[in-house]
Amino acid sequence: MPAAVSPAPPLSEDLLQFIWQFRLYNAEDLRTTAGEPVKVITTGAWNRHAGPDFSGARIRIGRTLWAGNVEIHLRASDWYRHRHQQDPRYDRVILHVVFEQDLDADMASMPCVVLQSRISKLLLARYEQLRHSQDFVPCGRQCERITPLTWRSWIDRLLLERWDRKTTDLQGWLQQTRQDWEETCYQGLAQGFGQPVNAGAFLLLAQSLPLRSLRRSNVSLETMEALLFGQAGMLEAPFTDDYPRRLQREYRHLRRKYKLQPMPAHAWKWLRMRPSAFPTLRVAMLAALLHQREHLFSRIVEAKDSRQLENLLHVQPSAYWETHYRFDVAVTRTLLPGRQLVHNIMINTLLPLLYWIGQQRAVPELQERAMNWIQEMPAEQNRIISGWKTLGIIAETAADSQALLQLKQHYCDERRCLECAIGARILQSSSSEAVEFVKQRR
């Protein structure tokens, strides 16, 4: 029987898999628990799904060269605890790699190597430091040591990862709209107008009021505003100004005619927000865009340069919004969202959309346009980009800022250091430093 479970080892199984993949252990005179010499030719491909941890490994054990799978565990007894001996997927495992040996030697069902004494304590300490760091990013004090080439290749990959995440949403909308690209583009634009805090509410608004409903007839701007504001649940209160009262009357008529159901007003967020980002002003601008620009999807695809795409989004809302941020609350003059909003919509909606269209339709020219245009645009300015700047990591373009947002939100915040090129390089350097230290001591 396996021995009682010992205290938790000072590393995770993910880290042990990482150590195996990058050979961050002392391989000198590596032997199985039965004493046979082991030479790792290839570690195999890391499998992050069900089944053995590494596939396609080539390992010489004794005088025999084996090809097959490798399974990684913290303890040797985990093989039985996970019932791998009963799972046919593990029949081609040629080597069991463990941190601790907690089984009697005669219980090993296959060749097994133990790495506990072969892993640098400096590497383990560095990993614990990353996992428990309370800094802006776990490796904040060390990331400047990474070469520009490593940063550049990782940044380029992160941008494509971010776009892949965004196009997952686009693909879902395209399926829901039965392959209607104009409708999908409309939903993406609506979400873009709500960035950052009201993106979800704007998407719900667009989905509750499809583009075909707005295009039933050649409606006036005021009718389009009535439909959007009414459907947003923003025309339910009593008003003093004539403008919102007209919108209210118009929406009540259209609501009965088309059996519309407005969103709840509490779906919208207003607190700690600049007036130029108020959802009322953004809805007014969306209405103006939809009224002034027909066939938006086709225009986006046909744009010849980023300036043409930018000009497509520059619109003026109706005159009421020159002196109002909210209904019935007059100001001397409003500060309308301008180039920054347009750039945010381009960066977060239109360029990922253009890239994805090129991918779906096998038109690489569209993908190249999207990649070139985002590299021409200035970097976004927000709290996360400022945090990177304090560490000496400067976003020169919008492509850089998007990549750094992806890195912070989906790697650093989730402590996915082992899957990050920067974290991986830091841990690899820790192992190298330990090897050099041992050599110098000798």
pLDDT of residue 346: 95
* 115 vs 363: CA distance, rounded Å: 50
Assess whether pLDDT exceeds 90 at residue 299: yes
The amino acid at residue 35 is G
Burial of 75 (0-12, 13-18, 19+ CB in 10 A): buried
Pairing of strands 54-61, 38-42: antiparallel
Tens digit of pLDDT for each residue in 77-128?
Answer: 999 999 998 899 999 999 999 999 988 755 567 899 999 999 988 889 888 8
Predicted TM-score (pTM) above 0.75: yes
* 173 vs 233: CA distance, rounded Å: 23
* 399 vs 156: CA distance, rounded Å: 8
Q: Domain residue spans in the chain?
A: 13-119, 177-376
Q: Are 278 and 201 in contact (CB under 8 A)?
A: no
HSE (side-chain half, CA atoms, 13 Å) at 25? 25
Q: How close are the terminal C-alpha atoms of the chain, in Å? A: 42
Backbone φ and ψ of 330, nearest 5°: -85, 145
Tens digit of pLDDT for each residue in 216-251?
Answer: 755 799 999 999 999 999 999 999 999 999 999 999
